Amino acid sequence: MINKHLNWLLASCIGALFFSCQTEAKKEETAIPQKKVSIAEIELGIKDFIAAKTAESNGIFPVKDENHDLKMKLVRVHTEYLSNLGPKRHFACVDLVDESGDVYDVDFFMEGEPEKMTVTETTVHKLNGKPFYSWKQNKEDKTWYRVPLEQSNNSLLGVVEGKDSFEFYYSVQVPALTGPAKMWIPIAESDDFQEVKVLEMKVAGKSKNLDEKVNDNTILYLELGPEDSGKSIEISYAVNRKEKGPYEGITPDPKVYLASNILMPKGGRFEEIAKEALGPKIRDSHLIQARALYDYIIDNMRYMKFGDFGRGDSNYACDTKTGNCTEFHSFFISLARSVDIPSRFAIGASIPSDRNEGGIDGYHCWAEFYADGKWWPVDISEANKYTALATYYFGRHPANRIELSRGRDLQVSPGPASGPINFLAYPYLEIDGKEVKAQSTFSFQRKADS
């Protein structure tokens, strides 16, 4: 039965799946309320299912569709996407990687009571971040159904235009400590496009705010000890955000916006690639040149969370032509600065557009460049995923975002023993002079009148 459902892909989504999901929504009308299934139960059920099938198949998890016979391994379970599809029916998204390194997002459907759930369907949702279909929630009964990509509007592709209002929750779990530790956390601030108010801040240890002057960031600094082990650090914000378009700005400081960074260098091969990509456009305006570099990266990179991704390493992006949003925008900035286009990096979180509450799948970053007296926002990794929005994302950032920090190689005092902070979205925890990952989660609640 599993293999039968694995054959479903885009073509079947257009017809039968859409109808079947509507049918399920009707059944919900007379259903008796069911016991809520916890995130932990869903995650355990999916992991157990994958482990069992992997053991049966000599160490790989088989996924078949009409074009592929894939041999997969588990990367992670997106439990923040746990949703109700009807009576005793739930789903979560799972990242699986095949032998070639391609990463597939696979939707897992489960049925039954919390203690006795079974996987009934698995369908391939995305390949290297590019979707085959999108999801939409029924406003009346809160169930979800699939929508073919060609029928999806911008809101189903991650975009809220105009304005958005939400609460954003930043949570960090302090690990077990046997000695002193230090932590740095970005603090979101208001600007012309986001109005941010701290609703509550729960910290641990000794704390104070630090000013990072080059990029105008505020960073929360914590000195922790064994007595803080297991404590939760919580920051909640009320955010009113406007869609961001090109905006006027004074001529940027070349010492900052045309400089090399540790993992985001300029010149050398980046200059050669930029000039080759530009061709005769090297004589055109910075605006025309930036669009050519934007298109070059869309055409030549693959969005792939596999390998040494996520550090914003321009050399890694150049060598592999893969990565997540940090690689896409670091590569763009290295190319742009190499031909004297001022540009900058920012990072925060993208708030889901297709639902009004729940978890957020980690950080998201973007870039801006300066041309014709204005800063122009770009989001190249999202444009790479949704080619229909490539024009939108050149000069626009949607309203459903929160910016947490700006810039690279952040220097504060006190700072980490290892030197400048590469960029800051997740907390930077240092123990004995070394960076240690701290468990952190982002979540949100959209205001009812948004």
286-300 and 325-338 helices, crossing angle to 10°: 140
Q: Which of 26-30, 65-69, 292-296 has the highest mean pLDDT?
A: 292-296
Distance CA 18, CA 40 (A): 29
- Kindly state the average pLDDT of the residues 362-379: 96
Q: What is the pLDDT of residue 102?
A: 72
Output the six-digit token pair for 387. Answer: 């080619």
Q: How confident is the model at residue 15 (pLDDT cuts 50, 70, 90)?
A: very low
Q: What is the pLDDT of residue 29?
A: 44
> What does residue 118 show for φ and ψ, rounded to 5 degrees?
-130, 145
Residues of the chain with CATH 3.10.450: 2-152
Residues of the chain with CATH 2.60.40.2250: 163-243+424-446
Distance CA 201, CA 236 (A): 7
Specify the amino acid at residue 20.
Answer: S
- Kindly state the average pLDDT of the residues 367-379: 96
Provide CB contacts within 8 A for 106, sequence distance 6+.
63, 93, 94, 95, 96, 122, 123, 124, 125
Output the six-digit token pair for 136. Answer: 């939409």
Q: What DSSP assignment string belongs to 302-334?
A: EE---SS-SS--HHHHHHHSEESHHHHHHHHHH
Residue 424, SS3? Answer: coil
28 has pLDDT over 50? no
Q: What DSSP assignment string belongs to 7-48?
A: T--HHHIIIIIHHHHHHHHHHGGGPPP-PPPPHHHHHHHHHH
H/E stretch holding 286 reads helix 286-300
Q: Any idea which of 34-43, 99-108, 322-331 has the lowest mean pLDDT?
A: 34-43
Query: Cis bond leading into 246, ω under 30°?
Result: no
- Please give the mean pLDDT across all residues of the chain: 86
170 has pLDDT over 90? yes
Q: What angle do CA 81, 85, 91 make, to 5 degrees?
A: 40
Q: What is the pLDDT of residue 7?
A: 35
Q: What is the pLDDT of residue 85?
A: 66
H/E stretch holding 444 reads strand 439-446
269-278 and 286-300 helices, crossing angle to 10°: 100
* pTM, rounded to two decimals: 0.78
Helices (H) and strands (E) in the chain, counts: 10, 25
Q: What is the pLDDT of residue 123?
A: 82
Q: What is the pLDDT of residue 18?
A: 30
Q: What is the pLDDT of residue 214?
A: 97
Name the residue with higher pLDDT: 74 or 385.
385
Specify the residue for token string 């040494």.
308
Q: How confident is the model at residue 25 (pLDDT cuts 50, 70, 90)?
A: very low
Name the residue with higher pLDDT: 93 or 139.
93
CB 401 within 8 A of CB 241: yes
CATH code matching the domain that covers 163-243+424-446, chosen among 3.40.50.720, 3.90.550.10, 1.10.760.10, 2.60.40.2250: 2.60.40.2250
264 has pLDDT over 80? yes
Q: What is the pLDDT of residue 354?
A: 85
69-123: per-residue pLDDT in tens?
778 877 777 766 666 666 777 777 787 877 666 778 888 888 887 667 788 878 8
Return the CATH number of the domain spanning residue range 2-152.
3.10.450
Distance CA 43, CA 86 (A): 18
Q: What is the pLDDT of residue 431?
A: 97
Q: What share of the chain is helix, strand, coil (3-state, %, to 5)?
A: 25, 40, 35
Residues of the chain with CATH 3.10.620.30: 247-406
Residue 416, SS3? Answer: coil
Distance CA 389, CA 58 (A): 41
Instruction: Provide the CATH topology of domain 247-406.
Output: C8orf32 fold (3.10.620)
Q: What is the pLDDT of residue 16?
A: 31
202-242: per-residue pLDDT in tens?
999 999 999 999 999 999 999 999 999 999 999 999 999 99
Distance CA 271, CA 435 (A): 32
- Kindly state the average pLDDT of the residues 346-356: 94
Name the residue with higher pLDDT: 22 or 52.
52
Specify the amino acid at residue 186.
Answer: P
User: Within 344-420, where are the H helices?
Assistant: 380-385
- Kindly state the average pLDDT of the residues 408-437: 97
Name the residue with higher pLDDT: 318 or 127.
318
Q: Which residues of 33-52 are buried (b: 16+ CB within 10 A; e: fewer)?
A: eeeebeeebbbebbeebbee
CB 117 within 8 A of CB 45: yes
Distance of CA 42 to the CA centre of its chain: 22
